[in-house]
């Protein structure tokens, strides 16, 4: 397969974790791959000796000028972008009451507004080609709210809802959208990409406080395998009709399906009340 016919992948946040593993797997498949990180030196090893079909770029998704520059460089080298993986982002934990305004806004800048801006910058190329696949790495927290993760969950819920709209607008143009919702994976996320405002209010000791302490001690023991996760993400892009959602890991799958079944059951139990709020026929 010639380099021109290989799919062009653009992945944000490749210095560590899911982004790095996915980049490695995509490069191993001989795809055209653009790897990005705020510090480009942390991803330069990924492209060494493979410069013909790879590109390493400095990118902070909260910087619109950097986004535009990265997309321009990609299009100049490869002509298009077939798969955009919005992976850059991080976690923030606190009780809802003790959340720090600056921390909350900074997280939304990266997890939400940066992702929105990145996608807006890539959509013109996908529209022109009448094909493309946007993969948004959210979390099981995008479908389930956990104690201590109110603001992180809110950022991921926002991406989930936005992705529904993007899918509705993109489908007639050949643009597919998938939200990938990982459960606990062994990516050192807790030690590397998690900010915390420790709870000091005794009333939250058994909820937010307990969960923050448990997660800190859980890092490195998660059952999820990042290599298998990366391969699963590549696999869905090879499907002519990729899924809107891909939950990763047994813990995530069980938690999400249980939550959605409970939600549907509750909504259906209130059908009479819900429908009675319309004007009478």
Active site residues: 152
Question: 265: which strand partners?
Answer: none
| Angle between helix 114-129 and 64-78 (nearest 10) | 30
DSSP 185: B
Q: Tokens for 41? A: 């030196």
108: helix, strand or coil = helix
Collapsing DSSP states into helix, strand and coil, what is residue 228?
helix
CA distance 244 to 176: 8
d(CA 126, CA 7): 12
Q: Give the helix/strand (H/E) hosting 255.
A: helix 250-269
Chain centre distance of CA 264: 25
Residue-by-residue DSSP string for 38-70: SSGGGTHHHHTT-TTSEEEEE--TT-HHHHHHH
């Amino acid at each position: 397969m010639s380099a021109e016919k290989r799919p062009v992948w653009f992945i944000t946040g490749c210095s560590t974790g899911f982004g790095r593993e996915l980049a490695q797997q995509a490069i191993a498949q001989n795809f055209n791959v653009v790897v990005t990180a705020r510090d480009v030196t942390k991803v330069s090893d990924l492209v060494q000796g493979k410069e013909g079909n790879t590109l390493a770029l400095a990118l902070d998704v909260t910087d619109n000028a950097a986004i535009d520059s990265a997309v321009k460089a990609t299009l100049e080298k490869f002509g298009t972008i077939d798969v955009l993986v919005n992976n850059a982002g991080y976690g923030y934990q606190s009780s809802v009451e003790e959340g720090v305004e600056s921390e909350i806004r900074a997280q939304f800048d990266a997890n939400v507004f940066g992702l929105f801006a990145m996608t807006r910058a890539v959509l013109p190329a996908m529209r022109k080609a009448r094909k493309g696949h946007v993969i948004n790495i959210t979390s099981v927290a995008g479908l389930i709210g956990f104690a201590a993760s109110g603001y992180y969950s809110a950022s991921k819920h926002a991406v989930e809802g936005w992705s529904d709209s993007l899918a509705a607008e993109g489908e007639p143009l050949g643009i597919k959208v998938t939200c990938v919702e990982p459960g606990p994976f062994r990516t050192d996320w807790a030690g590397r990409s998690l900010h915390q405002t420790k709870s000091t209010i005794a009333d939250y000791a058994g909820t937010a406080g307990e969960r923050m302490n448990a997660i800190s001690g859980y890092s490195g023991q998660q059952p999820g395998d990042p290599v298998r996760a990366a391969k699963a993400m590549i696999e869905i892009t090879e499907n002519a009709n990729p899924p809107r959602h891909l939950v990763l890991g047994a813990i995530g799958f069980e938690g999400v399906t249980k939550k959605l079944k409970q939600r549907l059951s509750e909504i259906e139990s209130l059908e009479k009340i819900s429908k009675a709020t319309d004007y009478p026929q």
